[in-house]
Amino acid sequence: MSHSRTEIQYNCQVTVNQASLNGSWAIYLFFGTPPSDTSDWPRNNVGMLSILGQAPGVPNRDRVVSQSDSLTWALRHSGIDTEGKTGPVVEYLEREFVWGVSQNDPTADRPKLINPKDLRDVKLVVSKRKVEYPDDLTQKPTFGQPLDVLNVTEKSYWPDGQ
């Protein structure tokens, strides 16, 4: 089978215990430093995992939840070539990938910034895998095995002085 295009797809797997915080909260993924105003986060992120809280006063269930977000489109939108060598992409991710946490606060005009260190059992892993798209559009793409990209998810957002 002949392949017309090959690309490397990048994904971020986010896993966390939803009982880390009570109420509704979210983990946001960014390229570059997030806006200081958390109400701008929904318009500036490249991925997110939302936790919908229980009724007021009821703690969230002690359960691990997980979600995978594709970073490929956001990388391309940022001018990064995902069809070429992986080295420049990994360097970009090591430099620019940041994640942060905000929690809905019904008493405030914007979500509350949360220190990521306050989360239980949080794990973020960026992986890459080769995808070959066939010339014949009636055929399915071929997916390679995902490989973890190390040292990418170490930067979390917590401004100095908070």
pLDDT at 156 over 70: yes
CA neighbor of 50 nearest in space, from 103, 105, 114: 103
Q: How far is CA 79 from CA 4, 30, 76, 122, in A?
A: 21, 15, 5, 30
Domain ranges for the chain, please list them.
3-149
State the pLDDT at residue 1: 54
Give me the percent of the chain exceeding a pLDDT of 70: 96
Residue pair 8/86 in contact (Cβ under 8 Å)? The answer is: yes
Structure tokens at 19: 């009982």
Q: For residue range 93-129, what is the model confidence (pLDDT) as tens digits?
A: 999 999 999 998 888 888 999 999 888 789 999 999 9
Model confidence band, residue 2 (pLDDT cutoffs 50, 70, 90) = low
State the pLDDT at residue 23: 87
Beta strands in the chain (DSSP E): 3-17, 25-31, 47-51, 64-70, 97-103, 112-114, 123-134, 142-143, 147-149
Give me the percent of the chain exceeding a pLDDT of 90: 62
Does domain 3-149 fall under CATH 2.60.310? My reply is yes
Prediction pTM value: 0.89
